[in-house]
Chain A
Amino acid sequence: MHTLFAPKHGVELWLYIAGSLVIGAGLLLLLCQTPQRLRKPVIAFVTFLGGLYFTLEFLIPHDNYFTHVMPEVVNAEIVVSCFTLFIGIYNLFGVHGRAIRRKQPGWYNSVAFFAAFFLIASAGFIKDMRPDSAATPLFEILFNGFMNSLQSTTFSLIAFYIVSAAYRAFRIRNSESVLMMITAMIIMLGLVPLGSALTSFIPANSFFSFLRLEKLSYFILLLPNMAVQRAIAFGVGVGSMAMGLRIWLSLERGSFFDEEL
């Protein structure tokens, strides 16, 4: 067994890789032949096995076999999950490729999508292979000049839209919305110099110094906000554990679990 899994090199390595792929393809073919009635139990079993690994690793005292192989398992999890990236790319290529083929309105935007995709990806790969080439400054231009700016500007747009959202959310309808509005105002003002300036007439060392906006804002963030966030986090924690248990034991219901296979 040790010899079988020992590292291989040269032609032998490629033969082993090809053999693994053939065996994998065979296993997939075998899965394709699985009778319909067995499909759900197989999925439930595999889900249970996945959950069992981390549960046993956690429950069995330290220095167990599961802890020893954990780096490899986590690495395999990361690597296999990375293959899903191509699903997203495949979908985007399908949508934009169709738009170009059919000359749909705004098809030139799809051309821009493909150009941007290939330009930054190829510049990145070439930059890694030949750091002295023009790909390095090109990558810098695309990343810092275009991507970073587009990203931060797009996110900053929310600052404008959030104003209209705030208007709708903070329309004074009841005492609770008033409370929320006042808290948000104190936090916003407390975080900018204007807020500090507004209450700067209150001496910093006096008894009423806690009424200075920056101190009030700090107090709200540190005490009521912290307590609320903790309470929500505990609720989420218990809920996620219950949900984890339901998924692990395939008790969960919904589109993913109830669909005909």
Chain B
Amino acid sequence: MSKFITEHAPAITLWASALCTFAVYSILYKENKFYRFFEHVFLGLATGYSFYLTWSLVMKPRWWDVMVGKGVWAWAFAAVFGSMFYFMYSKKHAWISKLIFGLFMGLSAGGIFREFYEIYFPQLGATMRPLATNEVIAEGPWATTVYVAGVLLFYVILFSVISYFFFSFEQKGKMIKASSSLGRTFLMIGFGAIFGATVMGRMTLFIGRFNFLVNNWAPQVAADWHWFKYVLPILVIAAVAGIILALKKKPVETEEPPTE
């Protein structure tokens, strides 16, 4: 068995990838057992992989090896602290899990101040750009005009969107109302850009899977045609039979709400 796996690993990987791709895309036709099965396989693999990764990349080198390998015994207390999370399963002592959650929330809350300084301060500095620089002016009046217009537009968008998020006071004044309304309009442009980029990102994944089927899997099918030509008719018959059975299946009777 181990010899077979070692020798045929690339072929098995290729066929498994194709099988998984078809299994997941089968949901586009309708809900089916084939999809559900592979969904659970995915869940199991993802959980098992996280378990393996957490142990081998974090807990083993950072905790076990330091405690047992280097003899730093005090790390045993990490297990005590870690066990506190599991008190959530006790009705009587569930509050102990809140203690450790509270500690972590406190640590995160404290870290926010540093985060604000390290992440947002440089961004604030980068945002407050001068209207023009010596390098831009040296490029000529047209380049300077375009640059200044760009910076001004950036400021207008930035401040109008920020004004939209002012909830500390009622937006009553004409100026703030107009600015907030403009901010809302610019937000729509931003959301449109985010949506467009997200759609294209997902499309890239779809193209990737399609590319795999056409350029990796299909040539392998062609290469293995000598045996695949016997399997293909069986697969086609099975698929047709499956579709016929699915269509013949009685629709699930739903209980109608009582009428008066």
Binding site for B on A (CB under 8 A): 5, 7-9, 13, 16-17, 20-21, 24-25, 27-28, 31-32, 39, 42-44, 46-55, 57-59, 75-89, 92, 106, 108-110, 112-121, 124-125, 128, 133-134, 137-138, 140-160, 162, 166, 169, 176-177, 179-188, 191-192, 220-221, 223-235, 237, 240-241, 243-245, 247-248, 256, 261
Contacts and interface: CB of A to CB of B under 8 A. Distances in A.
A145 B73 contact: no
B206 A159 contact: yes
Contacts of A20: 73-74, 76-77, 80
Contact of A228 (B9, B55, B157): B157
Interface of B: 1-3, 5-6, 9, 12-17, 20-21, 23-25, 27-28, 33, 36-56, 58-59, 62-63, 67-68, 70-86, 88, 92-96, 98-117, 119-120, 123-124, 127, 150, 153-154, 157-159, 161-162, 165, 183-200, 202-203, 205-206, 208-209, 212
Contacts of B52: 120-121, 124-125
Nearest to B103: A50
Contacts of A43: 95, 98-99, 102
A116 B165 contact: no
A50 B102 contact: yes
List of 4 A-B pairs having minimum Cβ-Cβ separation, nearest first: A50-B106, A83-B82, A116-B44, A183-B192
B13 A225 contact: no
Nearest to B97: A87
Given A50-B104, A119-B48, A138 B113 contact: no
Nearest to A186: B196
B189 A140 contact: no
B21 A149 contact: yes
27 contacts: A13-B68, A16-B73, A20-B73, A25-B80, A28-B80, A47-B102, A49-B106, A52-B106, A54-B111, A79-B59, A82-B54, A92-B43, A106-B33, A114-B44, A124-B53, A145-B13, A149-B20, A150-B24, A154-B24, A158-B202, A184-B199, A187-B195, A223-B153, A228-B157, A230-B123, A234-B123, A240-B112
B193 A183 contact: yes
Contacts of A147: 42, 45-46, 49
A159 B114 CA distance: 38
Contacts of A113: 40-41, 43-44, 47
Contacts of A44: 102
Contacts of B45: 116-117, 120, 142, 146-147, 150
B54 to A, nearest CB: 5
Contacts of B39: 109
B99 to A, nearest CB: 6
A174 to B, nearest CB: 10
